Structure 1
Amino acid sequence: MKTFKLISMQLADEDSLVDIEMKDGLIINKEDDKGTWLVEAFTDHKYIPYFQDALDKEKEIIVQVVITKQENDPAAFLTKVSSVKQLKTHASILLSGKLTKPKSDYPEKLLEYLLEKGYTGEQLLAEFKEKIIQRPKILQSKE
C-alpha cells in the first residue's frame, strides 16, 4: 500500500466541480488486484448530510482529487462512501473507489471560464498559465 497527502477534493457532476472544504486528508493506493483506492477527508460537519445520503443509497459519486502538491493534475475516482463519522470538530468521510477518467477536463473548464471572463490574446495566455498552476476554486457550480 502507498499513502499520499490529499491536497484538495471536489465533487464532480456532469456540469460542475464543487470544492469540498477540507481540514486534512489522505489517499491510499491499496495496490490490490482490483485497483482500489481509499480516500479519507476530514471536513466540516456541513457535508455530513450529503455523504450520509450517498452512503444510505449506496450511490456512486465521482470525486476529483489533487494529491501531494497543489501543482499536480487532479485525478478522478469513481467512489462509494464507506463511512461517515461525526467527530468533535469535524467529520471523517471515507470513500472507496477506483481511478477513472474524469467526465470533465480541468484545462478545458479553466479555458472556458477565462473566455467567459473576456480574456483574449496574450492576456488569456498569461491568465491560463498562472491559473493552471494555482488551481483556484473558480470551477465551482456556476450560479
Structure 2
Amino acid sequence: MMKSFKLFSLEVVEDDTSVEVPLEDGLILNKEDERSTWLMEAYTDLSLYDYFKNIFEQKRDIIVEAVITKKENAPAFFQTKISSLTKFEKHISVLFEGHLRRNKSDYSELLLENLLQKGLEGPALLNEFKEKMKSKPKLKVKNT
C-alpha cells in the first residue's frame, strides 16, 4: 500500500550549491516496497527545464532535500534519479525516484556539526542549536 503526502518544498543539493525548486504543486509517494522506494513529482517553472534535462540526460544521481506536508517539518534528504521530465506550456513536471538517506543526512547531526565548526560550545551551543532546530536554516550537505 502506497502512502502519499504533499510536497511542501524541494531543493536540489549539489556539493556547495543548492537549487530551490519553486513548486506550483508537488506530491511525494512512499511506495512501501521491499526497496523502500519513494517517488516525488515536482510541478514547477518552465525556466528549470534545461537544468533538469541536463541531469536527466546524464542519468546522474542527485540529492534532494524535501519538506513534506508543512513548513515546520524537518527536511528529509533523498538520493534520487530523474525518471521522467515532461514539458507543458508554462510548467514542467519532474518525476524523481529514490531512497531516503539516513546516514550523514540527519538534519540535527548536520546542524550540530555546523555549529561546532563555528566554535560554539556550552550554553551558547545549546541555545543556538534549539533556535536553529526551530527555524531550520539551509545547511550545506557533504555527500558521503
Which category of TM-score, normalised to the shorter sequence, fits these structures? Answer: 0.7 to 0.9
Residue 19 of structure 2 is matched in structure 1 by: 18
Which 5+ residue runs of structure 2 have no aligned equivalent?
none
Report the Cα offset of residue 41 of structure 1: 0.4
The answer to which of 122-131 and 99-108 deviates more is 122-131
Report the Cα offset of residue 14 of structure 1: 2.4
Report the Cα offset of residue 55 of structure 1: 1.2
Aligned pair count reads 139
Q: What letter corresponds to residue 59 of structure 2 in structure 1?
A: E
Which 5+ residue runs of structure 1 have no aligned equivalent?
117-121
Report the Cα offset of residue 88 of structure 1: 2.1
Give the superposed CA RMSD. 2.9
Q: What letter corresponds to residue 21 of structure 2 in structure 1?
A: I
Provide the rounded CA distance (Å) in 2 between the counterparts of 1:128 and 1:5: 28
Aligned residues with identical type, % of pairs: 47
Provide the rounded CA distance (Å) in 1 between the counterparts of 2:33 and 2:7: 20
Q: What letter corresponds to residue 40 of structure 2 in structure 1?
A: V
Residue 69 of structure 1 is matched in structure 2 by: 70
The answer to which of 20-29 and 102-111 deviates more is 102-111
Provide the rounded CA distance (Å) in 2 between the counterparts of 1:11 and 1:103: 16
Q: What letter corresponds to residue 35 of structure 2 in structure 1?
A: K
Task: Tell me if 1:2 matches 2:3.
Answer: yes
What's the TM-score once normalised by structure 1's chain length? 0.75
What's the TM-score once normalised by structure 2's chain length? 0.75
Provide the rounded CA distance (Å) in 1 between the counterparts of 2:64 and 2:96: 9
Report the Cα offset of residue 69 of structure 1: 1.3
